[in-house]
Amino acid sequence: MGEIILGIEEAFLLLISFNKEIYGIILLSLYVSLASTFFSTIIAVPIGTALGMRNFKGKGILIRLIYTFMSLPPVIAGLFVFLVIMRKGPLGHLRLSFTPTAMILAQICIVVPIIVGLTYNGVKEKGNTIRDLGKTLGANNRQTLFLLIYEMRIIILAAVIAGFGRAVSEVGAVMIVGGNIKGHTRVMTTYIAMLQNMGDYSKAIAVGIVLLALSFLINGILFNLQQR
Amino acid sequence: MNIYLENVIKEYEGKRIVHIDELHIKNGALYGFVGPNGAGKSTLIKMIAGLEPLNSGNIYYGHKPKSNPPFEIMTLVFQKPYLLRTTVEKNILYPLRLRGWTEKAMEERVTELLKDMGLSEFRNQKSWKLSGGETQKVALARAMSFRPKLLLLDEPTANIDPSTIAIIEKMLRKANQEEKTTVIIITHNLQQAKRLCSDLVFMHRGNAVEHGDVEKVLNHPTHSLTQRFIEGELIVD
Ligand SMILES: Nc1ncnc2c1ncn2[C@@H]1O[C@H](COP(=O)(O)OP(=O)(O)OP(=O)(O)O)[C@@H](O)[C@H]1O
Ligand SMILES: [Mg+2]
């Protein structure tokens, strides 16, 4: 109990101290998670929409695979990206190992299935109705697609919120491909794991509280957008 | 708009749902489609609206042989209309925006429609807060906004109170008389058909069993099925 109260105190002190290291870690966390969520959204929304609207052979199996990948353990995503970008890997020449870019790539692997799966579900439910509506009101294919995305905005934002939540909270993938290098690839989750390891519990709790607060803030912004 | 149906066949899972040898929808008329549940009325109207592909046959719009559905000048109001997740006004504006109307023309049209429908106070209301009858009226206003040449309606007054029915009928009559819109309405209410329609098509098991002038079909049906339907015997197929 004492540790928690100490942690809350320390979280507050940490924030008003404007400690460069802490703010660097917070900013990198935000950068990595927001970037991975952003790119995942761009990749996943069209895929989820297409899956919801079209029928083809093998679709059932593909959907089951996507649902499975929605709960992909981050360490596996990390391991996969690690193997691809390591020196001897297929993309080794890009020298991405232990960089923030590698962390973003790993998180994209985790977040894309989540947004695809949730978007697919929404489109499957509403897609045909909206396609028919678009036709009856005289919209062409492109306009109908925009109409569909507009009508899906709440579901898409919910998917984005879920994806971001997953990205910002995971530790396995960023640890493997980033390596928790001080001042370079250290983010809040890997920092917390390290602090816990070193027995600095109050500081670990402090960073945890900051992480939660930030998550709350970002979700608040997305939630506000969703209510429009 | 004249519409010609020729040997139109629609099947679901090998079962024949609609089979119309020949049917001519006359330009400027106000048609009622009636018939028991499951007769294929909704399926037929969706095919006319260009939403359901035919298994075989042809539907011609305007003058033969042009046969692509002219989506820009026709529309369908579903029995359970879907309103966009935005305000009443933006719903009605949407087809006009697609057609590139000027702001001024759109403003005038929306104001007029809202007034005629008795919806003025709902202009900025969010669509999901509307009642069933209000939703139906907004959907109708949206469908009529761009003055379509063909207006298709699937049971627009089912579950609607009498005063709202009166408004909807008034609007349909107005579109038909002032804008020369050809109207097809599916209804189970023969009194409504009598009040509103110029022509009637009686459907049974996918066939247009009888069609013609509304008074003639209701008063002197040539087919025993029609007779039984009018007498209230034939409700479910
Ligand atoms: N997508 C579909 N797949 C299979 N069967 C269908 C489908 N749509 C309609 N049917 C069948 O086609 C028949 C005609 O349906 P339709 O909805 O056109 O009837 P309706 O005349 O509009 O009836 P109601 O008065 O009850 O609305 C019904 O037996 C229905 O079960
Ligand atoms: Mg029906």
Phi-psi region of A36 (alpha: psi -120 to 50; beta: other; left: phi over 0): alpha
- Give the mutation target among B11, B43, B186, B188 for probing the ligand 1 site: most ligand atoms within 8 A of CB: B43
Write down the ipTM of this complex: 0.91
Closest-CA residue of chain B to A132? B51
CA distance A104 to B117: 54
A29 is a domain residue = yes
3-class state of residue A81 by DSSP = helix
Residue B120 counted as domain residue: no
Could you give phi then psi for residue B125, rounded to 5 degrees?
A: -75, 145
Ligand nearest, relative to CA of residue B33: 1
Q: Does A125 touch chain B (CB under 8 A)?
A: no
For position A64, which CATH number holds? 1.10.3720.10
Does the pLDDT value for residue B235 go beyond 70? Answer: no
Contact A137 B49 (CB under 8 A): no
Structure tokens at B122: 């709902």
Distances (CA, A) of A185 to A8, A18, A174: 25, 20, 8
Residue B184 forms part of a structural domain: yes
> How confident is residue B7, by pLDDT bands cut at 50, 70 and 90?
very high
Range of the domain at B157: 3-82+148-230
- Region A150-167 average pLDDT: 92
A210 or B169, higher pLDDT = B169
Query: Is the previous residue joined to B65 through a cis bond, with omega within 30 degrees of 0?
Result: yes
User: What is the average per-residue pLDDT within B4-20?
Assistant: 94
Do you know the residue count of chain B? Answer: 237
User: How many domains does the structure of chain B reveal?
Assistant: 1
- Per-residue pLDDT at B233: 63
Choice among A2-6, B138-142, B161-165 with the minimum mean pLDDT = A2-6
Q: Is A162 on the interface with B (CB under 8 A)?
A: no
SS3 A129: helix
Mean pLDDT of B44-65: 91
Q: What is the mean pLDDT of residues A24-30?
A: 93
User: Amino acid identity of A155?
Assistant: I
**Radius of gyration for the alpha carbons in chain A, expressed in angstroms and rounded:** 20
Stretch B198-227: mean pLDDT: 90
Q: What is the pLDDT of residues A204-221, one digit of tens each?
A: 888 898 899 988 988 888
Task: Let me know: does A117 contact A70? Beta carbons within 8 Å.
Answer: yes
Identify the CA nearest to A47 among candidates A78, A74, A69: A69
Note whether residue B55 is domain-resident: yes
**Beta partners for B87?**
B126
Residue A129 belongs to a domain? no
Q: Which helix (H) or strand (E) holds A169?
A: helix A153-169
A225 at B interface, C-beta within 8 A? no
Residues of A in contact with B49 (CB under 8 A): 135-136
Q: What is the pLDDT of residues B77-104, one digit of tens each?
A: 999 999 999 999 999 999 999 999 999 9
B88 occurs within a structural domain:
no
- 3-state SS of chain A: helix, strand, coil percent to 5? 80, 0, 20
Kindly report which listed range (A22-31, A138-147, B38-47, B226-235) carries the lowest average pLDDT score: B226-235
pLDDT band at B161 (very low <50, low <70, confident <90, very high): very high
Residue A119, pLDDT > 70, answer yes
Nearest chain A Cα to B146, which residue?
A137
Among all bound ligands, the one having the nearest atom to the CA of B18 is 1
B125 inside domain: no
* DSSP structural state of residue B56: E
Distance (Å, whole) CA A74 – CA A90: 21
Judge whether B123 lies within some domain.
no
Name the residue among A212, A196, A168, A171 with its Cα closest to residue A73. A171
Distance CA A20, CA A43 (A): 34
3-state secondary structure of B32: strand
C-alpha span between A69 and A111 (Å, rounded): 9
Comparing A108 with A217, which gets the higher pLDDT?
Answer: A108
Token readout for A86 is 């390591």
Interface test with A, best of B85, B146, B152 (most A CBs within 10 A): B85
Q: For residue B44, which ligand has an atom nearest its CA?
A: 1
Residue with token string 């919806």: B119
Candidate from A41-50, A184-193, A196-205 with smallest mean pLDDT:
A196-205
Whether B219 is in a domain gets the answer yes
Q: What is the pLDDT of residue A225?
A: 79
Hey, are the CB atoms on B72 and A133 less than 8 Å from each other? no
Q: Is residue A103 one of the residues assigned to a domain?
A: yes
Cβ-defined contact of A139 to B50 (cutoff 8 Å): no
Residue B27, pLDDT score? 95
Query: Which of B91-95's residues contact partners 24+ apart within 8 Å by CB, and which partners?
Result: B91/B127, B91/B138, B91/B139, B91/B142, B92/B138, B92/B141, B92/B142, B92/B145, B93/B145, B94/A137, B94/B142, B95/A137, B95/A138, B95/B142, B95/B143, B95/B145, B95/B146
Asked if the C-beta of A135 comes within 8 angstroms of chain B's C-beta atoms, the answer is yes
Look up residue B236 and give its two tokens: 């479910």
Number of domains in chain A: 1
Q: Tell me, what's the pLDDT at A14? A: 78
Unique residue bearing structure tokens 């973003």: A104
Ligand 1 neighbours (beta carbon < 6 A):
B 12-13, 17, 35, 37-43
Is the residue at A147 inside a domain? no
The closest residue, in CA terms, to atom 31 on ligand 1 is B38
pLDDT at residue B5 tops 60: yes
Which residue's CA is the closest to the ligand 1 atom numbered 8?
B43
Reported confidence tier of residue A202, pLDDT bands at 50, 70, 90: confident
**Whether the Cβ atoms of residue B83 and residue B135 lie closer than 8 Å to each other:** yes
Q: State whether A133 and B82 contact (CB < 8 Å).
A: yes
What residues contact residue A146 under an 8 Å CB cut-off, 6+ apart?
Answer: none
Question: How far apart are the CA of A122 and the nearest CA of chain B, in angstroms?
Answer: 14
Measured distance CA(B49)–CA(B182) in Å, rounded: 13
| Average pLDDT over every residue of A109-132 | 95
In a domain, B101, yes or no: no
**A146 within domain boundaries:** no
Average pLDDT score, chain B: 93
Cα B17 to middle of ligand 1, angstroms? 7
> Which tokens belong to B190?
């023969």
Percent of chain B with pLDDT over 70: 97
Per-residue pLDDT, A221: 85
CATH code for the domain of B49: 3.40.50.300
pLDDT value for B237: 57
Query: Who among B50, B85, B98 is closest to A137 (CB)?
Result: B98
Domain that holds residue A193: 2-119+153-227
Q: Predicted confidence band at B234 (pLDDT cuts at 50, 70, 90)? A: low
Most confident of A52-56, A146-150, B180-184, B209-213: B180-184
Report the residue of B43, B45, B71, B97 to disrupt the A interface, i.e. the one with the largest count of A CBs within 10 Å: B71
Average pLDDT over residues B176-198: 94
